[in-house]
Amino acid sequence: MTFTGQHLIDGAWSGADTGRAEAEVEGLSVAQATEAEIDAVARAARRDFRAVAATPASTRVALLDAIAEEIDARGDAITATGVAETGLPEARVVGERGRTTGQLRMFAELIRDPGYLGNRHDPALPDRQPLPRPDLKLTKHPLGPVVVFGASNFPLAFSTAGGDTASALAAGCPVIVKGHPAHPGTTELVAQAIAAAVVRVGMPPATFQMVHGAAPAVGAGLVTHPEVAAVGFTGSLGAGRALFDLCAARPVPIPFYGELGSINPVFCLPAALAARAEAIGQGWVASLTMGAGQFCTNPGVILGIAGPDFDRMAAAAAEALAGAGAQTMLTPRICEAYGAGVAALRDRLEVLGETGPVAEGRAGRPIAFRTDGASFLVTPELHHEVFGAAGIVVACADADQMLAVAEALEGQLTATLQLDMPDDTQIAQRLMPVLTERAGRILCNGFPTGVEVAPAMMHGGPYPASTDSRATSVGTMAIDRWLRPVCYQSVPDALLGT
């Protein structure tokens, strides 16, 4: 389990020593995928696609379980490497490792039951008048080779063996992972675990492949290769939109499932503020600062109606922020971008309690700002995510202005209502239709950080939160992204393998 910085191509580790580049982690260098290597992984994945797609569900169950076991067997090394590369606390990485293996086993359990395919059968009605009905059978088939882009903020659960990879393998699609330069060592150790599982189960060698490459040309080359059938992405709006546009501009466009983040607004309704303003302010800061604010569900904006109760909430938030220290961020580059984003907010807004230097080296300190609803409405720049623990407290003039702010929001992963029933019922009922249009997940009396991995979870939302509001990257419904429905009309069972 030594780090080589090489690619995994068609079952073999390779990558020239020339052309290597420094990773975002100091002291590590990785091979940079060439055009020839990108072509090789894509062609190998296409070559093995039909064999992978034809494997019985029981074999794919065995593969997913084997990957989880191989990750567990390398657990200490993966954890130590993940902590060293990302600066995340050991407990967080251990928990995320458990989530990763849990996802793999969840999809293994899902495909044990063929119901995941959504099979439908309309038997023939030869005597129906005025016209007979033919026999119709519908099932779903794997799309083809899938490219997965690892995320910087989840080096395990949204990376090499994360939800995109697990769901695509469960569906029967070969996977090509584009490793993230922020954690190349973690990427490679997990790729070694998957490669061992592929051999152990006897799957084709190109069932899983991985390439390194920080240059934009590597990602572009993968998503535009004609043998690639779909893409899964978790990352920034800018990078995601660029790749999405490349997928759409191909001679044969392909689906791009991008999760691009959001500001995840929290709406504090009057009765809730009257009853527990301080607790709401403290809870918001705890969620805002979790993981140095580097979650895609980070609640970047909290809103309420101006008045004494709102001021109590804001004061409690300011006090909590004053006691929150700096945290190590994922990379120096991410911390630098956080500092730039905070500086732009500082030029526009009042600081809600000064907290000292915000970004130094790799350490990010949380900060919040205050504005009013009218200013928020006319300043679109405030509606954009700052990746890190930076938040905005918005004092709305009244319920109508709060509703106007909700209407003005872009698509979100989440929206939260802090409410006390029945007193907040009327305003909540006005907000719910708007938030249902704007967000993929709506919470009441909680905070959005922490995404339960469960069948009913929706982790996606209207653009720009994600590129397809019908798709989720968390939960069992994620498998539907990699499956294509096919109807068979009057086709003999012998041709269907039934």
**Residues tagged active-site:** 259, 296
Dihedrals φ, ψ of 487, to 5°?
-100, 130
Distances from the Cα of 286 to the Cαs of 181, 281, 467, in angstroms?
A: 29, 9, 29
Which residue from 147, 140, 136 is spatially nearest to 178, judged by alpha carbons? 147
Q: Find the largest Cα–Cα distance for the chain.
A: 81
Q: Which element (helix H / strand E) includes 478?
A: none
Between CA 32 and CA 20 the distance in angstroms is: 6
**Given CA atoms 84, 329, 443, 434 in this order, what sign does their dihedral have?**
negative
Q: Taking a C-beta distance cutoff of 8 angstroms, is the pair 468, 477 a contact?
A: no
